[in-house]
Homo-oligomer: A and B are copies of this chain.
Amino acid sequence: MGSLDIAGFEAAARARLADDVWGYIQGGSGSESALRANREALERLRVRPRFLVDVSACDPSTSVLGLPLATPLGIAPMAYHRLAHPEGEVATAEAAGASGTLLTVSMFASRTLEDIAAAAAGSPLWLQLYWLRERAAVVELADRAAAAGFSALVLTVDAPKVARRPRDSRSGFTVPEGIGAVNLPSSLTASAHRHSEGASSIERHSREQFDPGITWADLAWLRERTSLPLLIKGILTAEDAELAVAHGASGVVVSNHGGRQLDCAVASADALPEIVDAVGGRCPVVVDGGIRHGSDVLKVLALGADLALIGRPVLWGLAQGGAAGVAELLELLRAELTEAMVLSGCPLTSDINRSFITAG
Protein backbone atom coordinates (compact mmCIF):
# COMPACT_ATOMS: atom_id res chain seq x y z
CA MET A 1 0.00 0.00 0.00
CA GLY A 2 1.17 3.52 -0.75
CA SER A 3 1.83 6.07 1.90
CA LEU A 4 -0.51 8.89 0.90
CA ASP A 5 -3.29 9.80 3.27
CA ILE A 6 -6.33 11.69 2.01
CA ALA A 7 -4.68 15.09 2.40
CA GLY A 8 -1.76 13.76 0.43
CA PHE A 9 -4.03 12.79 -2.47
CA GLU A 10 -5.58 16.24 -2.44
CA ALA A 11 -2.23 17.97 -2.47
CA ALA A 12 -0.88 15.76 -5.23
CA ALA A 13 -3.91 16.43 -7.43
CA ARG A 14 -3.74 20.16 -6.78
CA ALA A 15 -0.18 20.19 -8.01
CA ARG A 16 -1.03 18.40 -11.25
CA LEU A 17 -4.19 20.19 -12.39
CA ALA A 18 -4.65 23.57 -14.05
CA ASP A 19 -6.20 26.28 -11.89
CA ASP A 20 -9.53 26.43 -13.68
CA VAL A 21 -9.95 22.65 -13.69
CA TRP A 22 -9.06 22.52 -10.01
CA GLY A 23 -11.61 25.25 -9.31
CA TYR A 24 -14.28 23.33 -11.23
CA ILE A 25 -13.59 20.13 -9.31
CA GLN A 26 -13.16 21.53 -5.82
CA GLY A 27 -15.61 24.39 -5.92
CA GLY A 28 -19.13 24.72 -4.67
CA SER A 29 -21.90 27.09 -5.53
CA GLY A 30 -22.36 30.58 -4.07
CA SER A 31 -20.49 31.19 -0.87
CA GLU A 32 -19.67 27.46 -0.63
CA SER A 33 -21.58 27.19 2.61
CA ALA A 34 -23.20 23.85 1.75
CA LEU A 35 -19.75 22.53 0.89
CA ARG A 36 -18.46 23.48 4.34
CA ALA A 37 -21.64 22.30 6.05
CA ASN A 38 -21.16 18.76 4.74
CA ARG A 39 -17.83 18.37 6.51
CA GLU A 40 -18.94 20.14 9.67
CA ALA A 41 -21.96 17.84 10.00
CA LEU A 42 -19.77 14.76 9.73
CA GLU A 43 -17.16 16.09 12.15
CA ARG A 44 -19.80 16.86 14.76
CA LEU A 45 -20.79 13.19 14.95
CA ARG A 46 -18.81 10.94 17.26
CA VAL A 47 -18.82 7.17 17.56
CA ARG A 48 -19.51 5.02 20.61
CA PRO A 49 -17.32 1.99 20.00
CA ARG A 50 -17.94 -1.45 21.52
CA PHE A 51 -15.21 -3.84 22.54
CA LEU A 52 -14.48 -7.51 23.23
CA VAL A 53 -16.37 -8.46 20.12
CA ASP A 54 -14.67 -10.94 17.83
CA VAL A 55 -13.25 -8.74 15.07
CA SER A 56 -10.77 -11.20 13.71
CA ALA A 57 -12.62 -11.27 10.42
CA CYS A 58 -14.14 -7.85 9.87
CA ASP A 59 -15.86 -7.80 6.54
CA PRO A 60 -16.88 -4.49 5.00
CA SER A 61 -18.79 -6.14 2.18
CA THR A 62 -22.44 -5.43 1.72
CA SER A 63 -25.10 -5.65 -0.91
CA VAL A 64 -27.39 -3.01 -2.31
CA LEU A 65 -30.32 -3.75 -4.61
CA GLY A 66 -29.15 -7.32 -4.74
CA LEU A 67 -25.66 -6.34 -5.89
CA PRO A 68 -22.81 -7.70 -3.80
CA LEU A 69 -20.34 -4.89 -3.08
CA ALA A 70 -16.82 -5.12 -1.68
CA THR A 71 -17.52 -2.15 0.56
CA PRO A 72 -20.44 0.14 1.37
CA LEU A 73 -18.46 2.83 -0.43
CA GLY A 74 -19.17 3.64 -4.04
CA ILE A 75 -18.07 6.30 -6.50
CA ALA A 76 -20.39 9.28 -7.01
CA PRO A 77 -21.25 10.35 -10.53
CA MET A 78 -18.93 13.09 -11.75
CA ALA A 79 -18.76 14.63 -15.18
CA TYR A 80 -15.68 14.48 -17.41
CA HIS A 81 -13.13 12.32 -15.59
CA ARG A 82 -10.78 13.14 -18.48
CA LEU A 83 -10.34 16.56 -16.86
CA ALA A 84 -8.32 14.74 -14.22
CA HIS A 85 -6.55 12.16 -16.39
CA PRO A 86 -6.38 11.42 -20.15
CA GLU A 87 -7.87 7.95 -19.70
CA GLY A 88 -10.83 9.34 -17.78
CA GLU A 89 -13.62 7.02 -16.69
CA VAL A 90 -11.91 3.99 -18.20
CA ALA A 91 -9.11 4.34 -15.68
CA THR A 92 -11.60 4.89 -12.88
CA ALA A 93 -13.59 1.83 -13.96
CA GLU A 94 -10.48 -0.28 -14.08
CA ALA A 95 -9.68 0.55 -10.46
CA ALA A 96 -13.30 0.20 -9.38
CA GLY A 97 -13.62 -3.11 -11.20
CA ALA A 98 -10.46 -4.53 -9.72
CA SER A 99 -11.71 -3.85 -6.20
CA GLY A 100 -15.40 -4.63 -6.68
CA THR A 101 -16.36 -1.01 -6.00
CA LEU A 102 -19.62 0.37 -7.35
CA LEU A 103 -19.02 3.08 -9.95
CA THR A 104 -21.76 5.55 -10.84
CA VAL A 105 -21.07 6.92 -14.29
CA SER A 106 -22.16 10.48 -15.02
CA MET A 107 -24.40 11.31 -17.96
CA PHE A 108 -21.54 13.64 -18.82
CA ALA A 109 -18.90 10.93 -18.81
CA SER A 110 -16.02 11.62 -21.14
CA ARG A 111 -15.60 7.97 -22.17
CA THR A 112 -18.25 5.75 -23.74
CA LEU A 113 -20.46 3.61 -21.56
CA GLU A 114 -19.25 0.57 -23.47
CA ASP A 115 -15.55 1.27 -22.90
CA ILE A 116 -16.24 1.94 -19.24
CA ALA A 117 -18.19 -1.28 -18.89
CA ALA A 118 -15.38 -3.22 -20.50
CA ALA A 119 -12.86 -1.75 -18.07
CA ALA A 120 -15.09 -2.44 -15.08
CA ALA A 121 -14.94 -6.13 -15.92
CA GLY A 122 -18.26 -7.16 -14.44
CA SER A 123 -18.04 -5.01 -11.34
CA PRO A 124 -21.31 -3.12 -10.69
CA LEU A 125 -22.00 0.08 -12.64
CA TRP A 126 -24.83 2.58 -12.31
CA LEU A 127 -25.62 5.31 -14.80
CA GLN A 128 -26.53 8.80 -13.60
CA LEU A 129 -29.01 10.80 -15.68
CA TYR A 130 -30.25 14.37 -15.79
CA TRP A 131 -33.69 14.83 -17.30
CA LEU A 132 -32.96 16.58 -20.60
CA ARG A 133 -35.54 18.53 -22.57
CA GLU A 134 -34.59 16.04 -25.30
CA ARG A 135 -36.23 13.08 -23.58
CA ALA A 136 -35.37 10.65 -26.35
CA ALA A 137 -31.67 11.09 -25.61
CA VAL A 138 -32.26 10.10 -22.00
CA VAL A 139 -34.09 6.94 -22.92
CA GLU A 140 -31.52 6.05 -25.54
CA LEU A 141 -28.79 6.37 -22.93
CA ALA A 142 -30.72 4.24 -20.48
CA ASP A 143 -31.05 1.56 -23.17
CA ARG A 144 -27.35 1.64 -23.94
CA ALA A 145 -26.58 1.35 -20.24
CA ALA A 146 -28.82 -1.68 -19.86
CA ALA A 147 -27.22 -3.25 -22.89
CA ALA A 148 -23.74 -2.56 -21.56
CA GLY A 149 -24.56 -4.31 -18.30
CA PHE A 150 -25.20 -1.34 -16.01
CA SER A 151 -27.41 -2.43 -13.16
CA ALA A 152 -29.27 0.72 -12.18
CA LEU A 153 -30.09 4.28 -13.17
CA VAL A 154 -29.70 7.30 -10.87
CA LEU A 155 -31.82 10.29 -11.73
CA THR A 156 -30.33 13.48 -10.32
CA VAL A 157 -33.14 15.82 -9.34
CA ASP A 158 -31.29 18.59 -7.51
CA ALA A 159 -30.23 20.30 -10.73
CA PRO A 160 -33.16 21.75 -12.65
CA LYS A 161 -30.27 23.96 -13.68
CA VAL A 162 -26.61 24.01 -12.73
CA ALA A 163 -25.99 26.57 -9.96
CA ARG A 164 -23.71 29.58 -10.22
CA ARG A 165 -20.30 28.56 -9.05
CA PRO A 166 -18.13 31.60 -8.45
CA ARG A 167 -14.85 29.82 -9.10
CA ASP A 168 -16.06 28.84 -12.56
CA SER A 169 -17.51 32.27 -13.32
CA ARG A 170 -14.27 33.90 -12.36
CA SER A 171 -12.12 31.51 -14.36
CA GLY A 172 -14.64 31.44 -17.22
CA PHE A 173 -14.32 27.68 -17.04
CA THR A 174 -15.13 25.89 -20.28
CA VAL A 175 -14.82 22.20 -20.93
CA PRO A 176 -11.64 21.99 -23.00
CA GLU A 177 -11.85 20.99 -26.66
CA GLY A 178 -11.10 17.32 -26.94
CA ILE A 179 -12.96 16.42 -23.77
CA GLY A 180 -16.70 15.95 -24.09
CA ALA A 181 -19.84 14.22 -22.99
CA VAL A 182 -19.26 11.47 -25.52
CA ASN A 183 -22.40 9.52 -24.73
CA LEU A 184 -24.70 12.35 -25.76
CA PRO A 185 -25.43 13.56 -29.30
CA SER A 186 -23.01 16.39 -30.05
CA SER A 187 -25.95 18.66 -30.83
CA LEU A 188 -26.72 18.57 -27.13
CA THR A 189 -23.24 19.25 -25.87
CA ALA A 190 -21.71 21.85 -28.15
CA SER A 191 -22.53 24.81 -25.95
CA ALA A 192 -20.58 23.38 -23.01
CA HIS A 193 -17.48 24.28 -24.98
CA ARG A 194 -18.42 27.82 -25.99
CA HIS A 195 -16.38 30.26 -23.93
CA SER A 196 -17.96 33.49 -22.70
CA GLU A 197 -16.51 36.25 -20.52
CA GLY A 198 -17.21 36.02 -16.81
CA ALA A 199 -19.55 33.09 -17.05
CA SER A 200 -19.39 29.35 -16.74
CA SER A 201 -20.20 27.45 -19.91
CA ILE A 202 -21.37 24.53 -17.77
CA GLU A 203 -24.08 26.66 -16.21
CA ARG A 204 -25.24 28.06 -19.53
CA HIS A 205 -25.27 24.62 -21.07
CA SER A 206 -27.48 23.24 -18.32
CA ARG A 207 -30.00 26.02 -18.88
CA GLU A 208 -30.29 25.02 -22.50
CA GLN A 209 -30.49 21.27 -22.04
CA PHE A 210 -31.97 20.38 -18.63
CA ASP A 211 -35.74 20.22 -18.26
CA PRO A 212 -36.74 22.23 -15.18
CA GLY A 213 -40.38 21.36 -15.68
CA ILE A 214 -40.47 17.71 -14.71
CA THR A 215 -42.35 16.57 -11.65
CA TRP A 216 -42.88 13.42 -9.64
CA ALA A 217 -45.62 12.49 -12.08
CA ASP A 218 -43.09 12.33 -14.94
CA LEU A 219 -41.13 9.59 -13.23
CA ALA A 220 -43.63 7.03 -14.45
CA TRP A 221 -42.81 7.99 -18.04
CA LEU A 222 -39.14 7.14 -17.51
CA ARG A 223 -39.76 4.03 -15.45
CA GLU A 224 -41.96 2.61 -18.21
CA ARG A 225 -39.13 3.01 -20.69
CA THR A 226 -36.43 1.15 -18.81
CA SER A 227 -36.17 -2.14 -17.04
CA LEU A 228 -33.40 -0.89 -14.76
CA PRO A 229 -34.06 0.09 -11.17
CA LEU A 230 -34.20 3.86 -10.78
CA LEU A 231 -32.71 5.72 -7.81
CA ILE A 232 -33.44 9.39 -7.11
CA LYS A 233 -30.35 11.48 -6.27
CA GLY A 234 -30.45 14.78 -4.41
CA ILE A 235 -33.09 14.07 -1.77
CA LEU A 236 -32.73 16.19 1.39
CA THR A 237 -36.08 15.92 3.16
CA ALA A 238 -38.28 13.22 4.62
CA GLU A 239 -41.11 14.56 2.50
CA ASP A 240 -39.28 14.00 -0.79
CA ALA A 241 -38.04 10.61 0.37
CA GLU A 242 -41.64 9.60 1.02
CA LEU A 243 -42.62 10.86 -2.45
CA ALA A 244 -39.75 8.98 -4.04
CA VAL A 245 -40.85 5.70 -2.49
CA ALA A 246 -44.46 6.42 -3.35
CA HIS A 247 -43.46 6.97 -6.98
CA GLY A 248 -41.65 3.68 -7.19
CA ALA A 249 -38.05 4.77 -6.71
CA SER A 250 -35.71 1.86 -6.14
CA GLY A 251 -33.57 3.94 -3.84
CA VAL A 252 -32.74 7.48 -2.76
CA VAL A 253 -29.40 9.26 -2.73
CA VAL A 254 -29.24 11.82 0.07
CA SER A 255 -27.05 14.54 -1.36
CA ASN A 256 -26.65 18.27 -1.77
CA HIS A 257 -24.51 17.59 -4.83
CA GLY A 258 -21.32 18.10 -2.86
CA GLY A 259 -22.29 21.70 -2.14
CA ARG A 260 -22.43 22.48 -5.87
CA GLN A 261 -26.16 23.24 -6.20
CA LEU A 262 -28.31 25.04 -3.60
CA ASP A 263 -25.70 26.94 -1.59
CA CYS A 264 -27.87 27.26 1.49
CA ALA A 265 -28.89 23.60 1.50
CA VAL A 266 -28.76 21.52 4.63
CA ALA A 267 -25.77 19.17 4.99
CA SER A 268 -26.47 15.68 3.72
CA ALA A 269 -25.43 14.02 6.98
CA ASP A 270 -27.83 16.30 8.85
CA ALA A 271 -30.68 15.37 6.49
CA LEU A 272 -29.92 11.66 6.60
CA PRO A 273 -31.66 10.56 9.82
CA GLU A 274 -35.07 11.96 8.94
CA ILE A 275 -34.83 10.33 5.52
CA VAL A 276 -33.83 6.96 6.93
CA ASP A 277 -36.81 7.19 9.25
CA ALA A 278 -39.19 8.17 6.45
CA VAL A 279 -38.00 5.41 4.14
CA GLY A 280 -38.28 2.85 6.91
CA GLY A 281 -36.37 0.20 5.01
CA ARG A 282 -38.58 0.25 1.94
CA CYS A 283 -35.58 0.93 -0.31
CA PRO A 284 -31.87 1.52 0.10
CA VAL A 285 -30.67 4.92 1.31
CA VAL A 286 -27.42 6.10 -0.26
CA VAL A 287 -25.61 9.24 0.87
CA ASP A 288 -22.79 11.44 -0.40
CA GLY A 289 -21.13 14.74 0.45
CA GLY A 290 -17.89 15.26 2.32
CA ILE A 291 -17.04 11.58 2.87
CA ARG A 292 -13.27 11.69 3.28
CA HIS A 293 -12.36 8.98 5.78
CA GLY A 294 -13.34 5.41 6.49
CA SER A 295 -14.79 6.69 9.75
CA ASP A 296 -17.16 8.97 7.80
CA VAL A 297 -18.59 5.85 6.19
CA LEU A 298 -19.01 4.23 9.60
CA LYS A 299 -20.86 7.34 10.79
CA VAL A 300 -23.36 7.48 7.93
CA LEU A 301 -23.95 3.75 8.13
CA ALA A 302 -24.65 4.20 11.84
CA LEU A 303 -27.20 6.87 10.91
CA GLY A 304 -28.89 4.30 8.70
CA ALA A 305 -27.40 4.70 5.23
CA ASP A 306 -26.83 1.56 3.19
CA LEU A 307 -24.11 2.99 0.99
CA ALA A 308 -21.86 6.07 0.89
CA LEU A 309 -20.53 7.62 -2.29
CA ILE A 310 -17.34 9.61 -2.61
CA GLY A 311 -16.89 12.31 -5.20
CA ARG A 312 -13.88 14.60 -5.40
CA PRO A 313 -11.34 12.26 -3.75
CA VAL A 314 -11.73 9.85 -6.67
CA LEU A 315 -10.68 12.60 -9.07
CA TRP A 316 -7.73 13.35 -6.80
CA GLY A 317 -6.62 9.73 -7.09
CA LEU A 318 -7.19 9.80 -10.83
CA ALA A 319 -5.17 12.99 -11.26
CA GLN A 320 -2.39 11.66 -9.15
CA GLY A 321 -1.94 8.31 -10.84
CA GLY A 322 -4.69 7.21 -13.23
CA ALA A 323 -6.15 3.79 -12.52
CA ALA A 324 -3.38 3.08 -10.04
CA GLY A 325 -4.11 6.32 -8.18
CA VAL A 326 -7.80 5.52 -7.91
CA ALA A 327 -7.00 1.99 -6.80
CA GLU A 328 -4.73 3.36 -4.10
CA LEU A 329 -7.39 5.82 -2.96
CA LEU A 330 -10.07 3.14 -2.80
CA GLU A 331 -7.73 0.86 -0.91
CA LEU A 332 -6.96 3.61 1.59
CA LEU A 333 -10.63 4.18 2.32
CA ARG A 334 -11.40 0.45 2.43
CA ALA A 335 -8.56 -0.09 4.87
CA GLU A 336 -9.68 2.84 7.01
CA LEU A 337 -13.26 1.59 7.07
CA THR A 338 -12.17 -1.92 7.98
CA GLU A 339 -10.00 -0.49 10.74
CA ALA A 340 -12.92 1.57 12.02
CA MET A 341 -15.06 -1.58 12.10
CA VAL A 342 -12.32 -3.47 13.94
CA LEU A 343 -11.88 -0.65 16.45
CA SER A 344 -15.59 -0.12 17.07
CA GLY A 345 -16.58 -3.76 17.36
CA CYS A 346 -18.53 -4.18 14.15
CA PRO A 347 -17.51 -7.35 12.32
CA LEU A 348 -20.18 -6.83 9.67
CA THR A 349 -21.62 -3.68 8.13
CA SER A 350 -25.00 -4.93 9.30
CA ASP A 351 -23.75 -4.62 12.90
CA ILE A 352 -23.45 -0.84 12.55
CA ASN A 353 -26.54 0.88 13.92
CA ARG A 354 -27.64 4.14 15.46
CA SER A 355 -26.50 3.16 18.95
CA PHE A 356 -22.96 3.71 17.67
CA ILE A 357 -23.52 7.42 17.10
CA THR A 358 -23.65 10.38 19.45
CA ALA A 359 -23.49 14.12 18.92
CA GLY A 360 -20.39 14.32 21.18
Chain A residues engaging chain B, CB cutoff 8 angstroms: 1-3, 5, 30-31, 33, 37, 41, 43, 45-56, 157-161, 163-164, 166, 169-170, 197-199, 211-216, 218-219, 234-237, 239-240, 243, 261-267, 270-271, 293, 295-296, 298-299, 335-336, 339-340, 342-344, 355, 358, 360
Contact = CB atoms under 8 A, between A and B. Distances in A.
Given A161-B342, A213-B55, A295-B263, A37 B46 contact: yes
B52 A243 contact: yes
A240 B51 contact: yes
Given A30-B295, A336-B30, A239 B50 contact: yes
Contacts of A270: 46, 358, 360
Contacts of A264: 45-47, 293, 295-296, 298-299, 340
A335 B355 CA distance: 40
Contact of A215 (B52, B219, B262): B52
Contacts of A299: 264
B49 A342 contact: no
B213 A343 contact: no
Contacts of A236: 48-49
Given A264-B299, A293-B263, A3 B237 contact: no
